[in-house]
Structure 1
Amino acid sequence: MKRSAFDIHTWKYDLWYDKNPAVYASELDAIRELMPSKIAHNSIEIGVGTGRFASELCITYGLDPSARMLKIAGSRKVECIKGVGESLPFKGSSMKLVLMVTSLCFMDAEKALEEAYRMLAPEGSLIVAFVERNSLLGQEYRKKASESSFYKNIGFHTTEEVLSMLKEHGFEDMHIRQTLFKPLDRIQDMEKPEKDFGKGSFAVIRARSIKHK
């Protein structure tokens, strides 16, 4: 069985956050602004990786296809499940919060959003955070994709594309934050997130699943 780049380069991936603390803090802060005031026990991050975000944001479950990533996430007190976002091993309407951080681009986005909607309870929240395709960082990642361990053959999305997909799959009540306004090597302190999109490289959207109970 062929191993993914995330299984091969697990520690390289995880150490990136230690080497870029201000970037990591900026991303966390932008997500926190859109988090529900109370985080229910039935919350999950899809594409949890090594648990950097789930552990800091008090997300209960973490799903990922990489066993090596999940081992580290588990050490950060995340309840880990091996699986993929396009086929979630949970009952419908079973989660109050679903989080995806820079993972949508690695999945079949339409199928993953369809599954997230299925799994969310009425009035549940989906938070999607991603590198904006047309941003400074998005352009840099696309330019270097052929040399990257992680970003070969993946599809980055624009904020407009993600908003459109969310609406198509039944989500409403969108709220947006953005951060990472400078090149990564120039971010030395945590940046304050701003509303809307178009300036920052890291976009965060919160949407609600409007269902009849």
Structure 2
Amino acid sequence: IQRTIASADRIKRIHYSYQRRTDDYRFDVKDYSEYNAVLQLGRIAIGHSWLSITKFYPGNRLTYCTRCWRIGHLRNTCNAESKCRICLENLNIDTPHMCNNEPKCAQCDGKHHSLDSQCQVLKEYKDQLKEDVEDAIQKGLLQRFSPQEKSPSFERREQDFPPLTASDNHSNEKWNTALPRTTVESNKLRASYTDKTIDSINDNL
């Protein structure tokens, strides 16, 4: 994948709950122009095969309760007794629960886990949820996320900051002139000279 799409990143195989003859992979494309070019092409060459490539739309998340294990609501709104996730027996704080490890579905009472993807009630719920989401998108009530083109980040290039030559270095000689060292004696001499100058000015007035 990275040989064909240079900016491909975070490549992961999609895991399914059932057996498949082929594998699907999900990955990000950081470069926006490359992302559009790949989608427009619709295929990618891997080995000696041309494989289809499409946008990845994450599945709609189910709303289910971890208290009674039924779908359609959350735990904080459930008034039912807490149940075992496997056998659906009521849980009592004062009595340790001994699960018989026989799965029971909270949706259809079948002999499988409550969130088993093979449950017919769960399948119908997912199909209805998908239709409702697509309908809400068509009506503008929901918006599907789509990647946006990012503004180019700042890159420092050497030609933008050429080194200064010797002729461009306008140094001021006055700044480089060594100043005489100031001492206590020199300060006293300056003060005495200042006093004499003031006295001379006063005499001439």
Q: Does the TM-score normalized on the shorter chain lie above 0.5?
A: no
**TM-score bracket relative to the smaller structure:** under 0.3
Greater strand fraction, Structure 1 or Structure 2: 1
Greater helix fraction, Structure 1 or Structure 2: 1
> Which one has the largest radius of gyration?
2
Give the TM-score normalised by the residue count of structure 2. Answer: 0.21
The structure with higher relative contact order (CA 8 Å, sep 6+) is 1
